Structure 1
Amino acid sequence: MPHALSGDARIYWRADGDRSLPPLILGNSIGTDFAAWDPVMPRLMRHFYVVRYDARGHGASDAPAGEYTIAQLGADLDAVAIAAGLDSFDYCGVSLGGMVGMWYAANRPARLRRLILANTAPKFDPAIWRTRIATVLEKGMDSIADMAMARFFTPEFVARNGIEFQRVRNTFLSMSAPGYAGCCAAIRDLDLTSSLSAIKVPTLVLTGERDLSTPPAVGQQIAAAIDGAVVVALPAAHIAATETPVQFCDAAVEFLVDPPVETEADRYAYGLDRRKQVLGREYVEQRVASVTPFNKRFQAFITRYAWGELWTSSRFQDVERRMMVLSMMVALGRWEEFELHVGAALRAGVEAQAIEEALVQAAVYCGVPAANTGFALAGKILAKAQEDAGKDAAAK
């Protein structure tokens, strides 16, 4: 496992995605490890080379004995950036991760390009954290787990008891009590109020409309103290990336990603590249070569909007969007388009079982006859793909 050495601690980090994309470092809240970012990772990796790390005292990072300081936690972030080979990066931190981001932006801004501060505060009542430290050291993490979850999430999210909630709660319960207490001490002693005006990088402040730990007014005060900072409120509690991942990413991507499209010509080029990626370069180039004066405007239209706007959205992953299209084509009986997208899905590595699942569901919601036709057509395409694969293997 990769570790960055920072003072007396080894800080665990990992990188995911395409190294050619802009780097983004994510900082987690107290009481979570970097797996808390899992709900948003597939989308973020469409846009960024993503580096995550466990704060000291958390996850696979070391938990040195004693109390920690915000300066130590900021130095840990710097050590991770150096270990990952990042000369510059964007940073998004939630709660404790946001506190680290504020300290880092005010004290070591050289590597930092843009900053997202989510559900965080520059100062807290120290008495809260003194009590928290004493409780976890005496009684363990399970003694405050229900309280923590009630502050992390809305009551509705807790009541659903879904997989993502269970992931966060299980992580919390497995946390090192001394390591957690060490970070509690950093928050107890924190006062970054006077440092906020020193932050000069472009900053987005995310707040949770139902956040009890860092209410929206706190986020607004942070933004007011940072020149040019903007605020976006999300309908969530404290860990919005888990509770409202689509809206969290909408805000983050809009702030961090430079628009790839400025003109309609840009949109066409962007869409054409995406169309080739989804349907296959050879097929699309054949279609483009066969454009006539009669259908030229229509082909340009679908390339700009179906491909340059809809398919380039990262809200859905490609497999999800492919299955949606297949289901719609079954429902509408658009069999030529259905066959096109089945073949494209298989060429892109989508497993036949995913297509089968979409067709079984279509049998329930679109009717057995429609699904039967879909199975027949998809079966022929699958058999041809398997035959071609066999020939290629034999030729090698």
Structure 2
Amino acid sequence: MPLLKKINQVLIVLLVLLACLLLHSSLKFSTQPKKAYRQSHGLTADLPAEEVETDDVVPVIICASEERTGATMATINSIISNTDSSVFFYIVTLRDAVKIARRYIEKTKLKGIQYKILEFNPMVLRGKVKPDSSRPDLLHPVSSQFLLLNYVVSTYANQSAVSNASVSDTWNNLNCVLQLNFVRFYLPLLGISHRRVIYVDDDVIVQGDIKDLYNIKLKTGHAAAFASDCDLPFTHEMVRSIGMQTTYMGFLDYRKQEVKDLAINPNHCSFNPGVFVAEIKEWKKQKITKQLERWMEENFRQNIYSSAMAGGVATPPMLIVFHDKYTALDPLWHVRHLGWSPNARYAESFLQGAQLLHWNGPFKPWNDPAVHSDLWKRWFIPDPSGRFTLTRPGSDS
């Protein structure tokens, strides 16, 4: 009998321990809705535990395509060279460029930066986006859940986790830069814990302190801050000289009923989404990503973008969703159009006072011809692999 009593006591203890384990697992599962949501969008959520929210860190999101990795590194170099603040870079790239980006950082003066490389998997685009037959430079999204980001740490140790499935030549030939264009729509799904982030394109040079941009005060209810295309007299002169559109008419097809129903004045000033500050909580609250996806899908069905579109394919949905719902940046924090003409130039004195320069357009500062490329070149770090080279007059590159 004593032995039987002891056995019963042991069994009771084991049952209590088992119940505690089950309760702990249940509570843990119930407190992870964000992880489940990201997984439902084809997103992994394995991020380092040390990545915590802090107001002392300025988080910057930037993309790095294989053919333009050197441009991304120049942007990063300009940012860290002009601030004393701690900056954390989230570098979003494609599978083939993960090692290239990491090597570029680790083998140059950038090896001391804080960063994480996030991989964009273009396989998810198959059957969901396609080049327009009349505008092959543009991509038209079909489905609402078309973006897949596989998170990898900078060491990229778990290479076997990436699918080896082949893709057709059609998908392989889609411009990498355009594939990455849509990353800015999905900021809350990047798995980062910051309340606010800065997004910048890779053809940007920062001359001011990035902390000042990060600290901009957004108006109540605004999820983002952009620079208006009607903000500076100097930009007006540049725009007139190259015949560029700076209104909604240049991005949306006002012959379509869906566009008319928006009741947006076609002469309303547009903005450029190549540089912006985003409040993640407000972005989630307003379901900005879902709104952007809706208009991407609408464009696939109805072709609502202008046939003479003045900017990138990512611009029209953002113009619609953020119409009259964004805070204006100081115009000196986004001096743009430097890449729209090989001849039209700003006054050097004006550019010296600019906080951020953007070579949006086809004439990039690492190629020839281009204007004001000397301001970009001072931040260029030679590619240790020799892949990314500058094209200059008389160069064979």
TM normalised by structure 1 equals 0.27
Task: Tell me: higher relative CO, structure 1 or 2? Use CA pairs within 8 A at least 6 residues apart.
Answer: 2
TM normalised by structure 2 equals 0.27
Structure with a larger share of its residues in helix:
1
